[in-house]
Structure 1
């Protein structure tokens, strides 16, 4: 691997070490997460900051993802024809039932939320656009997986199971049987499977 390719890989590792749970991180935390020296990480962070992919709080010294990523994400979303087509239907559903409505796609072993129309109610919960969750533990993920061939679904279920984030414990065969029920019914329900008190229904 050439040095330039390695540098790109390291820079991407730094960007990927941030998460919804840890949106800000110190130099030491980043270095430990990506297993690089502080000197190397600092050099890469400086470059990423100049390009606005990373921003640094001067008061605390903590780093966070920069606004350049939001600009790039908006370009991706604008280019998705499905999203533009679906928004009026999502808005109609949310208005009719007074609940949060979202649209997601399968990305690897996770679902990623492309659009979210929040409930008009004062007390509500909603996924964030761009958020990724284990496919099997969401209603939308189940609705997608239920209509895919088993040879494609099984590795996804194994990955989801290995993450160990579900509140409901099932084996892979039990998961497959559950997906078969969903395919016969035509829609999926998730009841407190990923987070307590969170329920959802979805159709492919």
Structure 2
């Protein structure tokens, strides 16, 4: 990869959900790319629609016209990428059925390297409801749905992921590698992952694995809500239909074995 292309991609990579707007000085300092080079790249990205200059006020933060943010070109490209996930049209009818049964948010995530990416959702119709953006990234070790993928990765990959520092996102985020390994053991035994206040305070989720034709887990399905609506002692009310949906989706992805979790395991383990 040429140095210019690498610098350009590194520059784009700093625009995150946590810090979506950057000034020229900040970009140059953070990336180590000289200001003249930064300015040239920024102008090119603005011209092509990948970045735009931002001028507005949001939650007391004034964006003054000298800051840059991601442009609509990324939304267009994101929609193209999302369209390549063949699982979405397969999973959606089952997700819709779950939403109609429980009237809670139903989410589908895919593994992307060491993260989970939310690729589809069906919202609750309740006046006050949980909202998660499609395209959101989450670490595989935190949150029920991402961890339902992590639990079924090869052991060496799990160790590689957990050897990196664990970020604390909310009060109940797993604090240590040992914490996550214990949760993984429980997921494999029980067939589901549960989280409460791990990625966001006051939100809970139940996630189950989806198996592909080779028996690997690249996707997971979850129901998510506020902690008061999805307490741990009510897991058995939700997990059976989640397993049934995950089993049907797995079958359509070419998984030719009986889904390894079901009513008998629910009775014995929950």
TM-score normalised by the chain length of structure 1: 0.90
Task: Say yes or no: does 1:88 pair with 2:93.
Answer: yes
- 1:167 corresponding residue in structure 2: 171
| Secondary structure of residue in 2 paired with 1:57 | strand
Tell me, yes or no, if the aligned pair for 1:109 and 1:160 is still in contact at 8 Å.
no
Structure 2, unaligned runs of 5 or more: 56-63, 210-270
The alignment covers a number of residue pairs equal to 200
Q: CA 1:173 to 1:21, structure 2 compared with 1: closer, same or farther past 3 Å?
A: closer
- 2:26 corresponding residue in structure 1: 29
What pairs with 1:1-204 in structure 2 (closer than 5 Å)?
Answer: 5-57=2-54, 60-159=65-164, 161=166, 163-165=167-169, 167-168=171-172, 169-204=174-209
- Return the alpha-carbon distance in structure 1 between the equivalents of residues 155 and 170 of structure 2: 21
Q: CA RMSD in A?
A: 1.8
Alpha-carbon distance, 1:181 to partner: 1.1
- Return the alpha-carbon distance in structure 2 between the equivalents of residues 92 and 82 of structure 1: 16
Alpha-carbon distance, 1:132 to partner: 0.6
- Return the alpha-carbon distance in structure 2 between the equivalents of residues 154 and 203 of structure 1: 21
- With 143-152 and 98-107 compared, the bigger mean Cα shift is at 143-152
User: Which has more helix, going by share of residues?
Assistant: 1
Structure with the larger RCO, 1 or 2 (CA within 8 Å, 6+ apart): 2
Larger Rg: 2
User: Which has more strand, going by share of residues?
Assistant: 2
Structure 1, unaligned runs of 5 or more: none
Provide Cα deviations, 1:118-176, integer angstroms capped at 9, x if missing partner.
Answer: 21112122221111111111111111122223222111122352x34453344323321
- Return the alpha-carbon distance in structure 2 between the equivalents of residues 176 and 57 of structure 1: 43
Provide Cα deviations, 1:74-117, integer angstroms capped at 9, x if missing partner.
Answer: 11111211112111111221222111111001222211111122
Tell me, yes or no, if the aligned pair for 1:137 and 1:166 is still in contact at 8 Å.
no
TM-score normalised by the chain length of structure 2: 0.69
Tell me, yes or no, if the aligned pair for 2:88 and 2:119 is still in contact at 8 Å.
yes
- Return the alpha-carbon distance in structure 1 between the equivalents of residues 175 and 71 of structure 2: 39
